[in-house]
Structure 1
């Protein structure tokens, strides 16, 4: 008895909350029982009463079911209104906030990139990739270094080809060692030999004569490209002092390389380091001895310059080749100018 009373106490709250459903369930059970009982149990008059009870109970069950449905809808209406007027109404605002957060994250990343003054490149592949990114769509290029071998082999031909393809203007400023200054050429050759006496990636060792030929080749390459692309504004300066660094500066980034082919530094445009190196290169170029490239029309060069054309060019611009140079030396300069070997190549 106590267990029955305990069960009723537990069921009473549920029955109170769901009275209509409970009544409908009880009536459905009663109607079901009446419906399956044999007609002989009620007699003729009892059968009429049985049918009336079933019909009446069925109507009551339907009414209770309808009442339960209406009550559930009334309970759900505030929830639906809350969802519709709350979360859904705030959805555009939340989406706008997400866009603001994405924009803020993008701006923060750009600011962090700008604060990163210099990034170290630690492999040939990274250096080559950085050079490729610097060349992409650039409208200007400044170089300062020893003799400009990589400039002649890769940078200048590819930049000119890209500018010609897009039919756009290209400004190039080059500063290399003065080939007429024997002292600075010897200093540079001694420095390169002190790092390694073995031939470099081009297959040659560094001598004073090689330094002079490489610088002459850079001058010749500048004239050759200027004669073939009218939108190329190129200038060459000759320096009397050597540097252990090589600067390559484009519209988007600066790359500073050293003699180690697996080490370099890079900085993006707009950073403190990039802007100051840009100023340094401009001032250094202004102090260098200028090659009169405005005379590029005076001595036309063939696609494969002849010995006479090369000699005449340097005579005409006031940079005569050494008298000790024979035809083989002149051919070597022309080869270095137009078919230079990539010093960072495989």
Structure 2
């Protein structure tokens, strides 16, 4: 017994057939994806995306040959790299991640994959689906940028800045002034559409920002996280932390872009939001942070992207330069509620070209 789901992002699709006995393990993965992706029932014969089968780990037989070690995901430091055992079996690559009791059985030509899961597979299956969809979206002509984001019901506001500039702090200021949360760190767009898509991630929040928000501080205590004395040190929080801890609504993608705000919370003077000149270098294009080339999932993702990606837009050949107003958020503390409300009320969507976005 199984069911098939269409997992869609922008123009891209993964067709996932889930065995009944794997439903419990997959449920938290779908909860992670659904605020950003469309996840709907699908007739298996109608699937147009990358075919994925998900089965319980008990159905997998470990190959008898000795495996070699492979890097599945490169972490920020050596102790956070994810490693797996790899076998070549006929025309397939089999990778077992022992730390999460998850197995990926990948066709070498990128045509399909079979994942065997346990109740501890959620993080690595989520990572794989994010990376697979990222590859499909980039090959389809899209661009990922490094920006947090909020929404005002009509448009998205992208929050940019150098590392430590206060993008998350600015986002929390705006949501506590009435904005919806949209994206923690990543936005995606097709350069010719003007539409912005949020992307699932686990928000990295500085301890200084957490301490300034009592509800977040209480939530981290409940999670058993020990506060760092360094205000600039970041901690990864659950993907739904803003709506569970702060009761903040999540805007559904896509949204047209309405404005860009440069975060600079260390600037002197009181907290304020002012018009600013564009700083195009802050619209940093992101590359997918996978493992080393040729390792882990990388060969499969390369082949699958070229086999299953659907064209979504004209590939970006120069820097992204949307025709929207720029602002800067300056100073320590929090802008007044009146200033935040006035700012949000001025944000309107820029005209966009209508395209099919693949979402229901």
TM superposition score normalised by structure 2: 0.20
Structure in which a larger fraction of residues adopt helix: 1
**Between Structure 1 and Structure 2, whose CA radius of gyration is higher?**
1
Structure in which a larger fraction of residues adopt strand: 2
